[in-house]
Amino acid sequence: IGVPVYNVEEYLPQCLDSIIKQTFTDFQVIMVDDGSTDNSFSICQEYVAKDSRFKLIHQENRGLAGARNTIIKNVKTEFITWIDSDDWVEPDYL
């Protein structure tokens, strides 16, 4: 699961919690903090600390396409899905 992150501290916990609650559990989450200036990076760090499926990459702001390209470069699987960091998904999304 690719999650580009940029200044979404208000929505990010709900997004990441919805990922944790997936009924399908064999997945990895790659979050790219794209130079956030709010508390988004710290929130991402909390999820990395509590769930080993979560990985975090921090980079200078490159925009949505730059964040997605970073995620693609770090994916080790055949399949990828995107979840926007200001959105959430139902438990059976995956």
Angle of the 40-50 helix axis to the 12-20 helix axis, nearest 10: 20
CATH code for the part of the protein at 2-74: 3.90.550.10
Quick one: pLDDT band at residue 56, thresholds 50, 70, 90?
very high
Sheet holding 29-34, edge to edge: 2-5, 29-34, 54-59
- CA nearest neighbour of 32 among 53, 11, 63, 10: 63
Q: Cα–Cα distance between 84 and 64 in angstroms, integer?
A: 10
* pLDDT (0 to 100) of residue 20: 98
- What's the pLDDT at 87? 97
pLDDT at 76 over 90: no
pTM flag (> 0.85) = yes
- Dig out the tokens for 9 from the structure: 């501290």
Nearest to 75 by CA among 19, 27, 5: 27
Residue 37: pLDDT over 90: yes
pLDDT of 61 over the 90 cut: yes
